[in-house]
């Protein structure tokens, strides 16, 4: 089964990258490069799905729908 999930990745002030999968609670990691952070997150998501719930992805999804938008703040 192939599941398409979201990844949010940002570069930190120290140059490392932080990646999170917002659909799965507590699923985040980092890497020295974007590619490394992305690969680390993919591995973490796969392990979480396989080991924590025996492959039942529906049990761990935080949201069945995705809404992406911008957040405007006053600074």
pLDDT band at 70 (very low <50, low <70, confident <90, very high): confident
Q: What is the pLDDT of residues 33-58, one digit of tens each?
A: 999 999 999 999 998 888 876 766 77
Helices H, strands E: what count in the chain?
2, 3
C-alpha 74, offset from chain centre: 27
Token pair, residue 21, equals 């999968």
Residue 19 contacts residue 37 (beta carbons within 8 Å): yes
Please report, for the chain, the start and end positions of each structural domain, with discontinuous segments joined by +: 8-59
SS3 10: strand
Strand partners, 30: 18
CB atoms within 10 A of CB 55: 11
Q: What is the pLDDT of residues 10-23, one digit of tens each?
A: 999 999 999 999 88
């Amino acid at each position: 089964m192939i599941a398409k999930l979201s990844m949010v990745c940002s570069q930190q002030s120290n140059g490392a990258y932080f990646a999170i999968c917002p659909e799965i609670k507590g699923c985040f990691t980092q890497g020295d490069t974007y590619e490394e952070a992305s690969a680390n997150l993919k591995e973490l998501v796969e392990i979480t799905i396989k080991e924590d719930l025996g492959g039942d992805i529906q049990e761990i999804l935080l949201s069945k729908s995705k809404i992406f938008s911008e957040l405007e703040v006053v600074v």
